Structures are given as structure tokens and as C-alpha cells.
């Protein structure tokens, strides 16, 4: 039986994300990582709407405490739950969206990079945009 250690992104997708961070010069210990849902859904499926809604107040409080200037939204679930169901990850990724004084950068979820290696280039480009924005703010 595999026990969840409570840390986000510790599997294959997390290792790939760490490698991407290293590639662009981001230290994982210098970023705050939070998930939409606080418990892993069965079979690692995407969380259902009621599961996301049940965790949103917790996530909102995390954002209030951390006070981020930039939030990177990893994948469609994060994008739709944070900015709205009208957004799609394919059209929104790589484009800055600003709301309530926070800049959001939607990009691919690291698990998507495992399924489609061509998305790695976009992911790295998006992370570079984040670094540039952070350095210039």
C-alpha cells in the first residue's frame, strides 16, 4: 500500500516539474505549492466539482496568508477552479491574466508533459515568462 506523504507533486510529474524548475533556475524551496483539493482523488483522477468546492475556502485562506504576486496555474483543473469554467487550458496557457492584483500564468500540468512530450517546450517557456515577470516586478 502506497501512503500519501501530503506533499504536492512528489511522483513522476513532480520529478519532471523539479527538473523543469532546475532548467530555468527556480528553487522548489523558494515557491509555495498548493493543490485545489487537499486529498488525492481515487485512482488519481481529476477531482469532481463538489470535491474542489469543498476545499476552496482552505485554498483561499492559503492565498491570503501567502500573499502571492504571481500564481502559476498547473493545468485545466486549477485554471477552471481559480479563474472560471469559461477558461480552457489550451487557449489560456502562456498568457497573463490579472485579477484582484494577482497575475496568473496558466500552463500545462506536469502530468500532461508525461503524456505529450511536445508540451515540455511550452511549459519551459511559460516558466521563463514567470521568472521574467517576477524579476521585473
Whole-number pLDDT of residue 8:
79
The mean pLDDT of 15-35, rounded to a whole number, is 93
Give tens-digit pLDDT for 39-86: 888 888 999 999 999 999 999 999 999 999 999 999 999 999 999 999
Inside any domain, residue 36: no
Q: How many independent structural domains does the chain possess? A: 1
What's the burial of 66, exposed, middle or buried (CB within 10 Å: 0-12/13-18/19+)? exposed
Q: Would residue 126 count as lying in a domain?
A: yes
Tell whether 39 is covered by a domain.
no
CATH number at residue 84: 3.40.470.10
Per-residue model confidence as pLDDT tens digits over 19-28? 999 999 999 9
Instruction: Flag whether 42 is in a domain.
Output: no
C-alpha cell at 121: 517546450
Is the residue at 41 inside a domain? no
| Residue 91, CA distances (Å) to 43, 77, 88, 125 in order | 28, 14, 6, 15
Residue 110 in any domain: the answer is yes
Question: What pLDDT score was predicted for residue 1?
Answer: 42
Q: Which domain holds residue 115?
A: 12-30+67-136
Question: What is the overall mean pLDDT for the chain?
Answer: 93
* Assigned domain for 99 exists: yes
Amino acid at each position: 500500500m502506497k501512503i500519501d506523504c501530503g506533499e504536492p507533486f512528489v511522483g513522476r510529474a513532480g520529478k519532471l516539474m523539479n527538473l523543469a524548475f532546475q532548467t530555468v533556475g527556480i528553487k522548489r524551496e523558494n515557491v509555495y505549492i498548493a493543490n485545489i483539493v487537499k486529498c488525492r482523488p481515487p485512482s488519481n483522477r481529476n477531482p469532481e466539482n463538489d470535491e474542489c468546492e469543498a476545499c476552496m475556502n482552505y485554498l483561499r485562506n492559503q492565498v491570503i496568508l501567502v500573499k502571492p504576486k504571481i500564481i502559476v496555474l498547473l493545468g485545466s483543473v486549477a485554471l477552471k477552479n481559480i479563474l472560471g469554467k469559461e477558461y480552457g487550458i489550451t487557449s489560456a496557457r502562456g498568457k497573463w491574466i490579472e485579477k484582484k492584483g494577482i497575475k496568473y500564468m496558466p500552463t500545462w500540468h506536469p502530468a500532461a508533459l508525461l503524456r505529450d512530450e511536445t508540451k515540455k517546450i511550452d511549459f519551459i517557456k511559460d516558466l521563463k515568462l514567470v521568472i521574467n515577470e517576477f524579476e521585473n516586478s
